[in-house]
């Protein structure tokens, strides 16, 4: 855990001298967001905030005045009054009234947030360790969404991109002007799906389904970035969300494209690929789907995630290696990737693992072998 | 903390035993109080070091110092050690030292159980800390240890964690029983309940809270143990259980727990401000009722920690209203403290500085708490640094400043020496600056969208994170000043009078400074 | 310490006894919260878990409205079965009995036991969902390579409030090997 300490300490010191000021903001407040609900929440937040500020100004004002004026060094003589029923009643009643005033808009906003009826689009969101899965109900479109920020960027070996830690390979595309219902669950531990600009945050609980909704008005097309908001293990900080709001027409086109791409992927599994093609693709798939746990150079992470470089599995029986990647290892964090990656990607990444970092088995795993293993 | 053996009491005891066995076998409330306080201070430094490791990693975007896996262990252990190892034992230490003195009792009601209550703690925390050095690593699921991350997906150290929690819980329960038995039965004649110092009142109420909820914590970790090792499924949906049940039972303990961690501080501050304002506490009865209301309300608000879990609308509304209600008695207390100062004749020795800072900064923490209570807005605050800012304000310049204020206030009584006031003030100002530079920016990054418990963050959060790290080092280093000052004062200094402070009132100021090993062998008469 | 009158000692002893009982009672209360929670959830359905099988009775069918019922499935981690719904959604009249089917297949080389756990949203709909037959009532054993259809026969109580127009029934399948009956 403290390996390469010297190197790291010096990057801390260098960091002191060269903070990435170009990208940092001095954000002070919650975003107003792009929906009616997010605006209502923002308004409520500001209302409570200002009430607290004013109460603070009054109370601290009296206190600081007293600290100044009622000090012994100024010759103040202490009074001895020590109770007043009237005052106690007053400063119980007035805060009560203020709280009731706050509770009214809070109640109506909450009721609005709970009304998931009459949605036009239903998206099932499943939290996994450590990525999100999206299924568009009734549309035959579904995919996994992985963070694309590289390990090199994270470990200071490459400059950080503008959307560092907030970029994914597949965006959740939604239409503007239509009510979208999110059905949220998880497949292992509790996660939480959160996109601040639409003010949606809901826990993703294994075995249970939660729902939430959003309506992004027409004219608010754009990219909205969010993160997992419930500690879910090692890579809790590395499973972002990118919501892409497009016009209703563009959304329909996107759905068609997604179905076509899925069909093409299934067809591609029957094609032929050279060892070199598989290695190139495999390296890309590995960086995206495996490196976060198994290390950029296959070195693993401590005792939790085993090394693949020189591992008996990656250099031993091919069928056993394929089985682990496809079906996972129950009781560990190694998931079943059969549903997450296409046959071509699976063949490519297993080929890569068997030949990279000095493993050099010379094996080629083809997509057809993956299809067979799935029978 | 040496108490002199020069004063012989009427029974011809020869003062404390010599050497290490004195401390192992002691049943004396002063010795035990001292041990609790040193233990808590040690834990503060250990938990604080973990905080500095966390803040160093978070100084910049990117992973520079540690791996995400170890980061999760640090955040978990930092929380567990500060809550259960620093704050709670420190308050118990202050109770041990001061409650018998304040009520005119010779010792706690159950002195031998008192000894066990303390000695369990080094064992419990030794076991917990040892897990850091195992291959599987320390607990890494947050101090709130939600299932199934803490059951099905936990490292093997979870079993040690559970045993540690059980041991520490037994210590707290025994301590609470002792405190209630002492306060209810050993008060000097004439000291009615409504004549007790407020520190005693707040500890009486805190002790009832401990007895009510520590067993529930024991229950929930036992259920975890059964799920992990004995094939039950309390929290596993596969066997018919429910992860959300975990959260309900945990927070049923967890919410009263945070009041356990603040009520004694309310008591301390309610003793200190009247002393240095030379004026009686304003609204004594109202302070007692307000504290009792807070304690009662603390049982019916737990689900405000669960607003995003998927609670039904009516449930969410109920918990929002109940949580907002707590602002009322809390506000009453703040108004009473300010009214105590008003038209007093104030001086600003170190205990008063820490108490005044407590009033202001705890109130700021209370304001962010009120904002969090508003359920719709909480959907944007939950699990972000806004929550981290809130609870650190109420716990650090809240509970911890209360403890430090109490230590400065009573230190001359314990040691017989005044501490160096210049150094004390220096410690105060460094701590005050450090605490605000560390935690105020966290409000901003939380509102801007930074989640909790992440080892790395997006670029727009970088500047305030860097500032918070600088503040953390200022705050951490200033506690070394406190350590230096404590040791210096124990070893010598300007001799303290019995009264110590001009405006101080109460039985504890009627015994000599340093307080003799045995006091109130004959109960005093209170008018 | 022996300067205390025996009376205080006895009173303290009484207090201590009462407090120990209180602590033990609260430990029991913590465990009692488990069945309490289950009962509360069964009564109100607020945790989205539907109740066990009911008798099929012919009831009044509300033909004035239809409700969209969606079915979704999730595999818990480490559960490699194929598990999907054979119809994604149906429109039903409240009161009418409807049968839908799910498909499950065990693709591994070992026999396995699965448990499907239901969850309904919105919560308010849960208590109005009546089932006479559901694969979620029992554990399902599938031999290595075996697959089969699994039926669900349900109806929505006509007393369901009018503002509920969509009900989503979610099933998560878990490996129940550890809990096999």
- Among B166-170, B267-271, B399-403, C50-54, which stretch is predicted with the lowest mean pLDDT? C50-54
* Alpha helices (runs of H) in B395-501, residue ranges in sequence order: 401-415, 421-448, 462-491
Structural domain boundaries enclosing B250: 10-509
Averaged pLDDT for residues A158-184: 97
In a domain, C58, yes or no: no
Give the separation between CA A203 and CA A110, rounded to whole angstroms. Answer: 17
- Burial class for B271, CB neighbours closer than 10 Å (0-12, 13-18, 19+): buried
pLDDT (tens digit per residue) in B334-372: 999 999 999 999 999 999 999 999 999 999 999 999 999
How many Å apart are CA A374 and CA A322, to the nearest integer? 10
A121-266 domain in CATH 3.40.50.880? Answer: no
Per-residue model confidence as pLDDT tens digits over B469-489: 999 999 999 999 999 999 999
Those residues of chain C whose CB sits closer than 8 Å to some CB in chain B are 1-4, 8, 11-12, 15-16, 19-20, 22-27, 29-31, 33-34, 37, 44, 46-47, 76, 115, 117, 123-124, 172, 174-176, 178-179
What number of CA atoms fall less than 13 Å from residue A115's CA on the CB side? 11
- CA B47 from chain center: how many Å? 13
Q: Give the CB-side neighbour count of residue A179, counting CA atoms within 13 A.
A: 13
Cβ within 8 Å, pair A206-C172: yes
* Residue B313 CB neighbour total at 10 angstroms: 18
Among all residues of chain B, which has the CA nearest to that of C137?
B240
Percentage helix, strand, coil for chain C under 3-state DSSP, each rounded to 5: 25, 35, 40
Judge if C40 and C73 occupy the same domain. no
CB contacts, 8 Å: B142 with chain A: 231
What integer pLDDT is reported at residue B5 of this predicted model? 42
* Model pLDDT, residue A333: 77
Average pLDDT along chain C: 88
d(CA A216, CA C147): 42
C24 and C86 assigned to the same domain:
no
Compare CB distances from A27 to B152, B340, B444 and report the shortest one's residue: B444
B527 in a domain, yes or no?
no
Give residue B467's Cα distance to chain centre: 26
Residue percentage of chain C with pLDDT more than 70: 92
Nearest to B238 among C2, C47, C176 (CB): C176
Q: What is the mean pLDDT of residues B118-140?
A: 95
CB B219 within 8 A of CB C30: yes
pLDDT at B502 over 70: yes
| B521 is a domain residue | no
Q: Which residues of B463-488 are buried (b: 16+ CB within 10 A; e: fewer)?
A: bbbbbbbbbbbbbbebbebbeebbee
Token pair for A259:
């179905």
Confidence band for A332, pLDDT divided at 50, 70 and 90: confident
The first and second tokens of residue A90, run together, are: 């007053």
Q: Is the pLDDT of residue A10 over 70?
A: no
| Rounded Cα–Cα distance for residues A124 and A120 (Å) | 13
Is there a contact between A59 and B356 (Cβ–Cβ < 8 Å)?
no
What's the token pair of residue B120? 């369990």
* Cross-chain residue pair A71–B321, CB shorter than 8 Å: no
Tell me: pLDDT of C1 over 50: no
Q: Nearest to residue A286, comparing CAs of A235, A362, A347, A233? A: A347
The pLDDT confidence band at residue A7, using thresholds 50, 70 and 90, is low
The confidence score (pLDDT) of residue A293 equals: 86
Domain boundaries of chain A, sorted by first residue: 36-114, 121-266, 271-374
Question: Judging by beta carbons within 10 Å of its beta carbon (0-12, 13-18, 19+), is residue A262 exposed, middle or buried?
Answer: middle
- Dump pLDDT digits (tens) for A92-145: 999 999 999 999 999 999 999 999 999 999 999 999 999 999 999 999 999 999
Looking at residue B10, what is its pLDDT? 45
Note whether residue C21 is domain-resident. yes
- pLDDT, residue A136, reads 97
Helix (H/G/I), strand (E/B), else coil: B382: coil
Q: Which residue has the higher pLDDT, A16 or A80?
A: A80
Beta pairing class for A210-215 and C67-75: unpaired
Per DSSP, the three-state class of B34 is helix
A252/A263 Cα distance (integer angstroms) = 17
Q: Domain for residue B134, yes or no?
A: yes
Best of C19, C41, C179 to mutate (most B CBs within 10 Å, chain B)? C19
CA angle C30, C34, C38 (to 5 degrees): 150
- Which of A300-304, B29-33, B425-429 has the weakest average pLDDT? A300-304
Q: Taking the domain A36-114, which CATH number applies?
A: 1.10.287.90
- Among B475, B467, B470, smallest CA distance to B396 is for B475
pLDDT > 50? residue B3: no
The pLDDT of residue A8 is 53
The reply to whether B57 falls in a domain is yes
Clarify whether residues C149 and C93 are in a common domain.
yes
Average pLDDT over residues A350-358: 93
The mean-pLDDT minimum among A229-233, B71-75, B414-418, C161-165 falls in C161-165
Tell me whether residue B516 is in a domain. Answer: no
- C-alpha triplet A156, A157, A160: angle, nearest 5°: 60
Strands C67-75, C166-175: pairing is parallel
Quick one: C40 and C91 in the same domain?
no
Do residues C74 and C160 share a domain?
yes
Fold of A271-374: Cytochrome Bc1 Complex; Chain D, domain 2 (1.10.760)
Kindly give the pairing relationship between strand C82-85 and strand A131-136: unpaired
Looking at the domain assignment, is residue B471 inside a domain?
A: yes
Closest CA to B86 of B126, B42, B28: B42
**What one-character-per-residue DSSP string does C4-61 give?**
S-HHHHHHHHHHHHHHHHHHHHHHHHHHHHHHHHHHHHHHH-TTS-------------
Edge to edge, the sheet with strand A172-175 lists: A172-175, A241-246, A222-228, A191-195, A200-204
Quick one: C119 and C158 in the same domain?
A: yes
- CB contact at 8 A, B102 and B197: yes
Question: Is B338's Cβ below 8 Å from some Cβ in C?
Answer: no
Output the domain CATH number for residue C92. 2.60.370.10
Give the pLDDT of residue C181.
Answer: 62
Q: Which of C80, C121, C165 sits opposite A183 (nearest CB)?
A: C121
Q: What's the mean pLDDT in B182-190?
A: 95
Rounded Cα gap, residues B13 and B126, in angstroms: 35
Residue (of B424, B421, B414) closest to B498 by Cα position: B414
Q: Which pLDDT band, with edges at 50, 70 and 90, does C8 fall under?
A: low
CA distances in angstroms from B194 to A147, B62, B191, B284, B286, listed in the order given: 61, 57, 8, 8, 11
CA atoms within 13 A on the CB side of B220: 27
Q: Give the pLDDT band of residue A288 (cuts 50, 70, 90).
A: confident
Is residue A204 within 8 Å of residue A126, measured between CB atoms? yes
The percent of chain A in helix, strand and coil, each rounded to the nearest 5, is 45, 20, 40
At residue B409, φ and ψ (nearest 5 deg) are -65, -45
pLDDT average, residue stretch B424-436 = 98
- The band of B17, judged by pLDDT with boundaries at 50, 70 and 90, is confident
H or E element: which one contains A184?
strand A179-186
Handedness of CA C58, C59, C64, C66 (dihedral sign): negative
pTM recorded for the entire structure: 0.93
Give the least confident one: B1-10, B408-417, C37-46.
B1-10
Range of the structural domain that residue C118 is part of: 67-179
Partner C contacted by B12 (CB < 8 A): no
Lowest mean pLDDT among A173-177, A291-295, C42-46, C74-78: C42-46
In a domain, C105, yes or no: yes
Predicted local confidence at residue A22, as pLDDT: 35
* In the predicted structure, residue A290 carries a pLDDT above the cut 70: yes
Domain tally, chain B: 1
Answer for the pair C171, A206: CB distance below 8 angstroms, yes or no. no
Strands A172-175 and A241-246, by their bridges, are parallel
Q: Which of C44, C59, C78 is the last residue of a domain?
A: C44
Q: Locate the chain C residue with the closest alpha carbon to A328.
A: C78
Paired strand residues for C171: C73, C118
Q: Which residue has the tokens 């972000």?
A: B384
Has residue C53 been placed in a domain? no
A56-60, B132-136, C32-36, C132-136 — most confident range: A56-60
Q: What is the pLDDT of residue A5?
A: 54
Cα gap A260→B363, rounded to integer Å = 59
Q: Which chains, if any, share at least 3 CB pairs under 8 A with chain A?
A: B, C
Q: Per-residue pLDDT for A182 more than 70?
A: yes
User: What number of other Cβ atoms are within 10 A of residue A297's Cβ?
Assistant: 13
Distance from the first to the final alpha carbon of chain C: 60
Residues of B classed as catalytic: 78, 107, 143, 171-172, 255, 257, 259, 270, 304-305, 330, 333, 452
Query: Does a cis peptide bond (omega within 30 degrees of 0) precede residue C122?
Result: yes
When pLDDT is cut at 50, 70 and 90, the band that residue A331 belongs to is low
Q: Which chains touch C (3 or more CB pairs under 8 A)?
A: A, B
Reported as a single tens digit per residue, the pLDDT across B364-407 is 999 999 999 999 999 999 999 999 999 999 999 999 999 999 99
The pLDDT score that the predictor gives to residue B198 is 97
- Contact between B4 and B30 (Cβ < 8 Å): no
Nearest alpha carbon to residue C152 among C171, C128, C134: C134
Mean pLDDT computed over A269-284: 90
Between CA A15 and CA A17 the distance in angstroms is 5
CB count within 10 Å of CB C137 equals: 15
Say if the Cβ atoms of A328 and C166 lie within 8 Å: no
Residues C78 and C129 in one domain: yes
The partner residues of A224 in beta bridges, in order of sequence, read A243
Residues 6 or more apart in contact with residue B150 via CB below 8 angstroms: B139, B141, B158, B224
Give the sheet arrangement for strand C82-85, strand by strand.
C82-85, C98-105, C147-156, C129-134
- ipTM confidence score: 0.93
In chain C, residues with a C-beta closer than 8 Å to the C-beta of B165 are none
What mean pLDDT is reported for chain A? 90
C12-C17-C19-C23 Cα dihedral, nearest 10 degrees: 150
In a domain, B387, yes or no: yes
pLDDT at B145 over 80: yes
Mean pLDDT across B143-157: 94
Residue of chain A minimizing CA distance to B366: A52
DSSP state of B194: G
Can you name the residues that pair with C30 across neighbouring β-strands? Answer: none
Find the CATH number of the domain harbouring B312. 1.20.210.10
Beta sheet of C140-142, edge-to-edge order: C89-92, C67-75, C166-175, C112-121, C140-142
Q: What percent of chain B has pLDDT over 70?
A: 97
Q: What mean pLDDT do residues A307-336 have?
A: 86
Confidence tier at C180 by pLDDT (50, 70, 90) = low
Q: How confident is the model at residue A338 (pLDDT cuts 50, 70, 90)?
A: confident
pLDDT at A296 over 60: yes
Q: How many angstroms from the chain centroid is the CA of residue B105?
A: 25
Model pLDDT, residue A81: 87
Q: How far B135 CA lies from chain C's nearest CA (Å)?
A: 24
Give the other-Cβ count within 10 Å of C59's Cβ: 15
- The mean pLDDT value for A30-48 works out to 96
Say yes or no: C115 and C164 in one domain: yes
pLDDT at C133 over 80: yes
pLDDT exceeds 50 at position B513: yes
B203 within domain boundaries: yes
Selection from A14, A228, C87, A230 nearest residue B306 by Cα: A230
Q: What is the DSSP letter of B450?
A: P
* pLDDT for B356: 98
Give me the pLDDT at residue A18, please: 43
Q: Quote the Cα angle for B317-B323-B328, to 5°.
A: 130
What average pLDDT does the segment A204-219 reach? Answer: 96
Torsion region of A175: left, alpha or beta (phi above 0 gives left; psi -120 to 50 gives alpha): beta
Of B69, B450, B65, give the one whose Cα is nearest residue A156.
B65
């Amino acid at each position: 855990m403290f390996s390469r300490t010297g190197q790291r300490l010096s990057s801390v010191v260098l960091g002191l001298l060269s903070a990435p000021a170009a990208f940092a903001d001095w954000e002070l407040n919650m975003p107003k967001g792009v929906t009616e609900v997010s605006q209502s929440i923002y308004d409520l937040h500001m209302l409570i905030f200002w009430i607290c500020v004013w109460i603070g100004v009054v109370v601290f004002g009296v206190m600081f005045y007293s600290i100044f004026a009622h000090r012994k060094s100024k010759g103040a003589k202490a009074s001895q009054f020590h109770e007043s029923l009237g005052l106690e009643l007053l400063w119980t009643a007035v805060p009560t009234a203020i709280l009731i005033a706050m509770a009214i808009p809070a109640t109506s906003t909450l009721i609005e947030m709970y009304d998931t009826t009459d949605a036009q689009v239903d998206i099932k969101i499943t939290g996994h360790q450590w990525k999100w899965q999206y299924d568009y109900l009734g549309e035959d479109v579904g995919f996994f969404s992985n963070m694309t920020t590289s390990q090199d960027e994270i470990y200071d070996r490459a400059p950080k991109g503008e959307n560092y830690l907030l970029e994914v390979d597949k965006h959740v595309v939604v239409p503007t002007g239509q009510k979208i219902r999110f059905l949220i669950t998880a497949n292992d531990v509790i996660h939480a799906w959160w996109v601040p600009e639409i003010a949606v945050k809901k826990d993703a609980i294994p075995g249970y389904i939660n729902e939430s909704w959003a309506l992004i008005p027409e004219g608010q097309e754009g990219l909205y970035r969010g993160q997992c908001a419930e500690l879910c293990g090692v890579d809790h900080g590395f499973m972002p969300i990118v919501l892409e709001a497009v016009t209703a027409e563009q959304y329909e086109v996107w759905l068609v494209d997604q179905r076509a791409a899925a069909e093409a992927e299934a067809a591609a599994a029957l094609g032929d690929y050279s060892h070199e093609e598989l290695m190139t693709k495999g390296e890309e798939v590995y960086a995206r789907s495996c490196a976060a746990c198994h290390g950029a150079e296959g070195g693993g992470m401590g005792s939790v995630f085993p090394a693949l470089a020189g591992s008996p599995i990656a250099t031993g029986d091919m069928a056993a290696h394929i089985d682990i990647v496809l079906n996972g290892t129950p009781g560990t964090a190694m998931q079943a990737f059969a549903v997450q990656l296409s046959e071509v990607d699976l063949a490519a990444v297993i080929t890569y693992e068997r030949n990279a970092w000095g493993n050099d088995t010379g094996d080629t795993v083809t997509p057809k072998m993956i299809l067979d293993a799935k029978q | 903390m040496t108490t002199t053996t020069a004063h012989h009491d009427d029974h011809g005891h020869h003062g404390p035993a010599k050497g290490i066995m004195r401390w192992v076998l002691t049943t004396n409330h002063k010795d035990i109080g001292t041990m609790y306080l040193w233990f808590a201070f040690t834990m503060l430094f250990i938990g604080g070091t973990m905080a500095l490791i966390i803040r160093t990693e978070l100084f910049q975007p990117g992973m520079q110092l540690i791996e995400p896996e170890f980061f999760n262990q640090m955040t978990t252990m930092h929380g567990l050690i500060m809550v259960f190892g620093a704050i709670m034992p420190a308050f118990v230490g202050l109770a041990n030292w001061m409650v018998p003195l304040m009520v005119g009792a010779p010792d706690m009601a159950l002195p031998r159980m008192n000894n066990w209550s303390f000695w369990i703690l080094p064992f419990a925390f030794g076991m917990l800390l040892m897990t850091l050095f195992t291959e599987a690593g320390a607990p890494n699921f947050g101090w709130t240890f939600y299932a199934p991350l803490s059951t099905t997906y936990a490292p093997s150290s979870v079993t040690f964690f559970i045993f540690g929690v059980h041991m520490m819980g037994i210590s707290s329960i025994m301590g609470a029983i002792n405190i209630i038995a002492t306060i209810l039965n050993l008060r000097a004649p004439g000291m009615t309940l409504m004549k007790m110092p407020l520190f005693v009142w707040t500890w009486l109420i805190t002790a009832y809270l401990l007895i009510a909820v520590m067993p529930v914590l024991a229950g929930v970790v036992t259920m975890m143990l059964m799920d992990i090792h004995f094939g039950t499924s309390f929290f596993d949906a596969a066997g018919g259980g429910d992860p959300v049940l975990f959260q309900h039972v945990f927070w049923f303990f967890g919410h009263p727990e945070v009041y356990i961690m603040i009520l004694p501080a309310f008591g301390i501050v309610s003793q200190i401000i009247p002393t240095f304002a030379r004026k009686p506490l304003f609204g004594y009865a109202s302070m007692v009722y307000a504290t009792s209301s807070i304690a009662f309300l603390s049982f019916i608000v737990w689900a405000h920690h669960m607003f995003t879990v998927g609670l039904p609308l009516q449930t969410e509304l109920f918990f929002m209203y109940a949580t907002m209600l707590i602002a009322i008695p809390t506000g009453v207390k703040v108004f009473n403290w300010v009214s105590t100062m008003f038209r007093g004749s104030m001086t600003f020795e170190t205990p008063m500085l820490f108490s005044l800072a407590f009033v202001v900064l705890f109130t700021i923490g209370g304001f962010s708490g009120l904002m969090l209570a508003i359920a719709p807005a909480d959907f944007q605050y939950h699990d972000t640094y806004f929550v981290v800012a809130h609870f650190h304000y109420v716990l650090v310049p809240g509970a911890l400043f209360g403890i430090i204020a109490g230590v400065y206030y009573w230190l001359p009584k314990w040691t017989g020496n005044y501490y160096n006031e210049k150094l004390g003030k220096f410690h105060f100002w460094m701590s005050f600056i450090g605490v605000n530079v560390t935690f105020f920016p966290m409000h901003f990054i939380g509102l801007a969208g930074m989640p909790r418990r992440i080892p790395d963050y997006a670029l727009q959060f970088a500047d305030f994170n860097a500032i918070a790290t600088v503040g953390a080092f200022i705050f951490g280093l200033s506690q070394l000043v406190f350590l230096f000052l404590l040791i210096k004062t124990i070893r010598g200094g300007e001799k303290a009078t019995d009264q110590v402070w001009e405006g101080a009132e109460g039985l504890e100021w009627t015994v000599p400074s340093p307080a003799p090993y045995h006091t109130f062998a004959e109960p005093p008469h209170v008018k | 310490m022996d300067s205390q009158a025996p009376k205080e000692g006895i009173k303290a002893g009484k207090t201590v006894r009462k407090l120990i009982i209180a602590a033990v009672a609260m430990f029991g209360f913590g465990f009692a919260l488990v069945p309490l929670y289950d009962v509360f959830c069964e009564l109100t359905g607020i945790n989205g878990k539907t109740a066990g099988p009911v008798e099929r009775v012919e009831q009044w069918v509300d033909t004035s409205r239809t409700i969209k019922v969606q079915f979704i499935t999730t595999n818990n981690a480490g559960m490699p079965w194929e598990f999907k719904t054979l119809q994604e959604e149906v429109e039903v009249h409240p009161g009418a009995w409807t049968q839908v089917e799910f498909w499950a297949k065990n693709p591994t080389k070992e026999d396995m036991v699965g448990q499907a756990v239901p969850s309904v949203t919105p919560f308010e709909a849960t208590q109005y969902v009546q089932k006479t037959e559901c694969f979620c009532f029992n554990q399902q054993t599938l031999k290595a390579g075996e697959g089969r259809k699994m039926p669900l026969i349900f109806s929505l109580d006509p007393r369901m409030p009018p503002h509920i127009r969509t009900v989503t029934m979610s099933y998560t399948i878990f490996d129940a090997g550890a809990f096999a009956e």
